[in-house]
Amino acid sequence: MKPRIKLAETMTPDGGALALFEQDNTYSISYKGQQLMHSKMTTSEELLGKLGLDRLDKTLPSRILVGGLGLGYTLRTVMEGCSSESQVDVAELFPEVVDWNRTFLKELNGSFLDDPRTTVLIKNVGNVIKNAPPETYDSILLDVDNGPIAMVAESNNSLYSHFGVRSIHAALKANGRAVFWSAQADPRFEKRLRKAGFTVKAVPARTHPGAKRAAYLLYVADR
């Protein structure tokens, strides 16, 4: 096995290091030395994309928001499953992560950033949602900062607050769907979703197809 190589690094607002690594043609992103995602463990990210598309008519144009680019697996799932006339907005807080996908990860999933259906927004996804006109999106998919309990940027907590989930509800079209990636169960967050008017289902997700048990939860919230 070859040694792990640090390809790139950037500093977050709190001074923590967000870094991209490569080892034997696999890639990972770590924060303060703790692995956030790995290209060998992408089942939950792909399931996030699939669940977000389930309610859509694949023959019609849709407007989809992907919050958090990461290694690009949710984006790839969405791009491969939505119609040719759809519009997909990708909101990523760190421009360096977008750069990594365009360069080091180009052959992994980065090429989907160049798809004419894709619009890249270097913005906090919470602000994108808050400023969106009512009923803009058919589907909103959020894999942001470990889920309802922020890890990388404390400002991300507002996305999962009462105000945040109400903003998400308002930004969705009638019969729209939001899907939230979460590192763990969060009953209080689920309660906030229901209070905002969503019908909620918690879907267990594995790290990879061969995993014996689920490691994460995906909260599916239907308007």
Q: pLDDT tens-digit profile of 161-195? A: 999 999 999 999 999 999 999 999 999 999 999 99
pTM of the model: 0.95
Average pLDDT over residues 5-16: 93
Average pLDDT over residues 143-160: 74
Determine the CATH number of domain 41-222: 3.40.50.150
| Segment (H or E) for 192 | helix 187-195
Domain positions in the chain: 41-222
Show the tokens assigned to 39.
């290209």
Question: With 80 as the cut, is the pLDDT of residue 19 above it?
Answer: yes
Q: pLDDT tens-digit profile of 20-77? A: 999 999 999 999 999 999 999 999 999 999 999 999 998 899 999 999 999 999 999 9
Residue 78, C-beta contacts closer than 8 angstroms, at least 6 positions apart: 49, 52, 53, 64, 66, 88, 141
